[in-house]
Structure 1
Amino acid sequence: MTGGVPADGPIPVIAIDGPTASGKGTVAARVARTLGWSVLDSGALYRLSALAALRRGVSDTDDQALADIARGLDIQFLGDKVLLDNDDVTEQLRHEHIGEMASRIAPLQPLRDALLERQRAFRQPPGLVCDGRDMGTVVFPDATLKIFLIADVDARAQRRYNQLIEKGFSANLGDLLTDLKARDQRDQNRSVAPLKPAHDAVVVDSSNLGVDQTVDCILAHWRNRI
């Protein structure tokens, strides 16, 4: 029994979806560590695709070229480090312009198709915690537990601002707020895999919760589910 799941049962998945800067990446990593499971930051795959495209001078509208890049990504996840072509790009992936480009290319169907199987390959024993925008609706529709993590946009902008300042990056709170609202609109209204909770998802509002409280809340839902 690992994480409360019989060893001979299907490989369980906890899917955590939500808007940009809702804290889902940090929370997913904590939940995975508590359960002893693998973790997938699906957004990293889109940011890696965006970074690789920028390095190669590929336009964010060239969907076939972007799909080819996604299929051929030479990436490694080593603990907290992310390598692209053997280059440590961990910090670069957090730059706002990379996140912005990732948001623009994410709706492109050829790119999404190219990344789909790479994401599903992360489902390995004893279990997987994944975060993104369509983990529970498209990538793992059979996930054992689906969480839709939300937070007020002002709270999310403040969190992102604090993260950037702590990492030594310059940031403007007003610009971040404007950017988040634009990303929300784009993610919610795109024709391909729009950001929305799965019909069987549990909605968790973390506007007034710390990371530990949010993790405890999700683990409580997991215990109730099993």
Structure 2
Amino acid sequence: MKKIIIAIDGLSSCGKSTMAKNLAKEISYLYVDTGAMYRAVTLYALRHNLFNHDGSVNIDALERHINHINITLHLNKSTGQPETYLNGQNVEHEIRSMEVSEHVCLIAAISAVRHALVSQQKAMGKEKGIVMDGRDIGTAVFPQAELKIFVTASPAIRAQRRYDELKSKGIQADYNTILKNIEERDYLDSHRQLSPLRKATSAIELDNSQLTMEEQQNWLLDQFNKTIHSLYRD
């Protein structure tokens, strides 16, 4: 069977990573969470004091460190899900903290960081058979992807989902803080000069505000099957 590239973009905390993970597992594709990669760089920057006192990034210092930041994804055999490693250390839990969430947009807007990570992401898709989610997968990383999805949901719904997720993991969370962070991230993601968040021309939009996880997964699998069948007809 022909393998394809599936690019899933969308707003923060709209469930696209969970959708992508589940789809990849069901169709036996490689899954890559690019957001986790940017979060890992953010965690590195926080650990190495690469933020200035005013909250901005010390870009020159980060660029000097960039070649020392090694991000890998490894499958957790017990859960069947990939986890993020930073320089050999499992940081899947740490990169989901609010502190990282509040700083990741600044890191993602830096050209040296995006260049380094996009190069890695492009290399991962050379053999196809990959599901990748993020902010610019269908527009910058894989504009040639055979299936592009753009996921949206209301800020309030996304904040509640994020709150529930953090609480389930035992992480302290405040709903209003999360909502504010989501609204700020939406603005920054869509207004940054480098690879801003936008729907790719050929992407299929999914507003999952009122959909259950099962309904989302069924919809996504249906889009995959339609794309595969279309390729075989061609």
**TM-score of the aligned structures, taking structure 1 as reference length:** 0.91
Alignment pair present for 1:74 and 2:38: no
- SS for the counterpart of 1:57 is coil
Alignment pair present for 1:55 and 2:51: no
Q: 1:8 aligns to what?
A: none
Q: In 2, distance between residues paired with 1:85 and 1:115? A: 15
Q: In 2, distance between residues paired with 1:210 and 1:124? A: 33
Q: In 1, distance between residues paired with 2:160 and 2:114? A: 30
- SS for the counterpart of 2:124 is coil
Q: 2:22 aligns to what?
A: 30
Whether the 8 Å CA contact 1:46–1:106 is kept in 2: the answer is yes
Greater CA drift, 159-168 or 188-197: 188-197
**1:205: Cα distance to partner?**
0.7
Give the 3 Å change call, closer, same or farther, for CA 55–127 of structure 1 in structure 2.
same
**1:119: Cα distance to partner?**
1.0
**1:110: Cα distance to partner?**
1.8
**1:68: Cα distance to partner?**
4.3
RMSD of aligned residue pairs (Cα, Å): 1.5
Give the 3 Å change call, closer, same or farther, for CA 127–70 of structure 1 in structure 2.
farther
- SS for the counterpart of 2:171 is coil
- Equivalent residue runs for 1:1-226 within 5 Å: 1=1, 5=2, 12-59=4-51, 60-79=56-75, 80-125=82-127, 127-226=129-228
Q: List, as ranges, runs of 4+ consecutive aligned residues in structure 1 with deviation greater than 4 Å.
A: none
Q: In 1, distance between residues paired with 2:19 and 2:60? A: 33
Give the 3 Å change call, closer, same or farther, for CA 211–65 of structure 1 in structure 2.
farther
Whether the 8 Å CA contact 2:20–2:31 is kept in 1: the answer is yes
Greater CA drift, 37-46 or 50-59: 50-59
Give the 3 Å change call, closer, same or farther, for CA 124–30 of structure 1 in structure 2.
farther
**In structure 2, what residue type is equivalent to 1:38?**
L
**In structure 2, what residue type is equivalent to 1:63?**
I
**In structure 2, what residue type is equivalent to 1:167?**
K
**In structure 2, what residue type is equivalent to 1:118?**
Q
- SS for the counterpart of 2:144 is coil
Q: In 1, distance between residues paired with 2:153 and 2:41? A: 27
Whether the 8 Å CA contact 1:64–1:111 is kept in 2: the answer is no
Q: How many residues align?
A: 218
**1:167: Cα distance to partner?**
0.5
**Tell me, which stretches of 5 or more residues in structure 2 are unaligned?**
76-81, 229-234
**1:74: Cα distance to partner?**
2.4
**In structure 2, what residue type is equivalent to 1:76?**
T
Q: Deviations over 1:82-108 (max 9, x none)?
A: 222222211101001112211111111
Identical amino acids, percent of aligned pairs: 34
Whether the 8 Å CA contact 2:5–2:128 is kept in 1: the answer is no
Q: 2:78 aligns to what?
A: none
**Tell me, which stretches of 5 or more residues in structure 1 are unaligned?**
6-10
**In structure 2, what residue type is equivalent to 1:45?**
M
**TM-score of the aligned structures, taking structure 2 as reference length:** 0.88
**In structure 2, what residue type is equivalent to 1:95?**
S
**1:214: Cα distance to partner?**
1.0
**In structure 1, what residue type is equivalent to 2:10?**
G
